[in-house]
Amino acid sequence: MAALIGVLPGDGIGPEVIDQALRVLDAIARRSGRHFELRQGLIGGAAIDATGKAFPEDTRRLALEADAVLLGAVGGPKWSDPAARERPEQGLLDLRAAMGVYANVRPVRTHPSLYDASPLRPERIRDVDILVIRELTGGIYFGAKQRDADRASDLCSYSRAEIERVLRVAGVMARGRRGRVTSVDKANVLETSRLWRSVANELFAREFPELQLEHMLVDAAAMHLLSRPREFDVLVTENMFGDILTDEASMLAGSMGMLPSASLDEKGRGLYEPIHGSAPDIAGRGIANPCGTILSAAMLLRHSLGLEAEAARIENAVHEVLESGLRTRDIAAASSREATTVQMGDAVVARLNA
């Protein structure tokens, strides 16, 4: 039976990078004999324009029926009015909540071919391999919100169960890596962080005694991600901290355009997307980097469909293209050959077909 993949291109550069990921999935299907049913839906600004809703009911049904969802990006200046009743970003939050994808997994790896694309010195980023696990459906983004003319508030709330389940994902994944987990919080100030730290200590002592657990305040983590990134293995944190830290960590890899992500529920069904936004300033110019989206498709095959060999094939193809010197503008260097979005997709597909 064919796996059903929901495809949500979204806004800005989203459709451009999604197109290249779909070409890669098609190449994999042809080479491996697999069959993927691809069904597209609307989300974000495109959905607002078409239906008046950022997360229309047809898209909700598709997301709940699909074995996995591949997302581009949402948002843009056209829909940025703070007073608007519907905003593209709310569509994304509603999608995550509807799918119950509470654990966001973001691998951050550096490769020699892209050392020159990072603003950090090569010796500082050599052999970095971090797996960031971000809690995705709780915290301040989903808490009660209030605002009047002179005051506003956003409630940050976490339950023990919410904290335990995302920490458990970090522990399971650390078992297959170097066995070290860094839990990031702000326990010197926030009660939610104090609960987080307490739950982490209890859970790891009970379920993962063989792993090394350390706690780090979020401001220190932000500093150490740049000063000693090789020392991190698995980093787990709450929603807002994870959002900020992973964007910072993308500079280790050279560009936000390089990093994929997987957002998983308890059964491994997931939402897959690059970590970058809709980049409206470059939309339609054909220069967006599709690698993060292509690598997100690889994570989809691995985590939701159990196709490890096919996922690895895609990742190897992307790395071989980068090693050949072909780069999109965001990661271009003096010695590289600059490629358009489509040309980068062409090169990855050619590697897969070779």
> What amino acid positions are annotated as catalytic residues?
141, 186, 219, 243, 247
DSSP of 114-126: GGGGSSS-HHHHT
- H helices of the chain, in order, are 14-32, 45-51, 57-65, 88-99, 122-125, 160-175, 191-207, 218-227, 239-253, 291-303, 308-323, 341-353
Q: Residue 165: what residue type?
A: R
Please name the residues in contact with 243: beta carbons below 8 A apart, sequence gap of 6 or more. Answer: 134
Q: Could you give the dihedral angle defined by the CA atoms of residues 328, 329, 330 and 336, in that order, rounded to the nearest 10 degrees? A: 70
Contact 83, 22 (CB under 8 A): no
Q: At what angle do helices 308-323 and 341-353 cross, to 10 degrees?
A: 120
Coarse DSSP helix, strand, coil percentages of the chain, rounded to the nearest 5 percent: 50, 20, 30
d(CA 274, CA 249): 14
Handedness of CA 106, 301, 346, 114 (dihedral sign): positive
Q: Exposure of 179 by Cβ count < 10 A (0-12 exposed, 13-18 middle, 19+ buried)?
A: middle
Q: In terms of DSSP bridges, do strands 129-135 and 152-154 run parallel, antiparallel, or are they unpaired?
A: unpaired
d(CA 244, CA 246): 6
d(CA 244, CA 48): 27
